[in-house]
Amino acid sequence: MSNSKLIIVEGPQGAGKTTVTDFIRHGLKYTNLYRLCGTSDSTPAGKQKAKDMYYDLIEYIQKLENKSINLLFDRTFFTEEIYSRLKFKQYDFSDVYNELVERFSKLDFDIYYINLYLNNTNLFKKRLERSGKAVTDYAKFNIESSIKQQEQYLKMADEISKKYPTIKVFNVSNDSDEESLKAKIKEILKF
């Protein structure tokens, strides 16, 4: 197994992914950060676009195996599956998702799946009141949407931990202060 880390940070809108990924990027040496948001095409044609994009991503990651670099992702195909489960998409992504997570679990990295969530869902209101953020038809920035996303992400994290022992799954509450959150992340990733 490689000593390089492959880190995925997922969670609902407003859970703190940007804060966490920025912290990891600057704190963990030799780390490249990728911010993915999937495709905005929610039609059935969008499924093929997403499939192609994420299969290419897995191939790209494979090329970086054993290169002594850490890869950090703020969202990936896990989000695509969540949005599909919540019917933000007009298609079912589960067949593609299952193939992708299977391939992902076999990559030669120490693989971490960090799922951020909020115990106090009232915090979503404050965090979602961000200026300059675009609102889309399929994933509106609102509390109800974030709570539904959070429920699905927690369910997904449980599914992954039960089925894929090579993926280290961590559900991390982001209700406390930023310093406590950073301490949790440092403990998980050991840096």
Domains of the chain, by residue range, sit at 5-189
Question: Strands (DSSP E) along the chain, which ranges?
Answer: 5-10, 31-35, 70-74, 110-117, 167-173
What pLDDT, on the 0 to 100 scale, is given for residue 2?
66
Query: What topology does CATH give the domain 5-189?
Result: Rossmann fold (3.40.50)
Q: Using CA atoms, how far apart are residues 170 and 189, in angstroms rounded to an integer?
A: 10
**Which burial class, exposed, middle or buried, applies to 119 when counting CB atoms under 10 A from its CB (0-12, 13-18, 19+)?**
exposed
Kindly give the confidence (pLDDT) of every residue in the chain, 191 residues in length, as a single tens digit, with 9 standing for 90 and above.
568 999 999 999 889 999 999 999 999 999 999 998 777 899 999 999 999 999 999 999 999 998 999 999 999 999 999 999 999 999 999 999 999 999 999 999 999 999 999 999 888 877 777 544 544 443 456 788 899 999 999 999 999 999 999 999 999 999 989 999 999 999 999 99
Q: Which of 185, 119, 181 is nearest to 150 (CA)?
A: 119
What pLDDT, on the 0 to 100 scale, is given for residue 137?
42
Q: What's the predicted TM-score (pTM) here?
A: 0.91
Residue 86 CB neighbours (<10 A): 15
Q: Are 191 and 28 in contact (CB under 8 A)?
A: yes
Instruction: Locate 174 and state its tokens.
Output: 């982001």
Q: What sign has the CA pseudo-torsion 139, 141, 142, 145?
A: positive
Q: Using CA atoms, how far apart are residues 146 and 170, in angstroms rounded to an integer?
A: 19
Instruction: Locate 9 and state its tokens.
Output: 């940070």
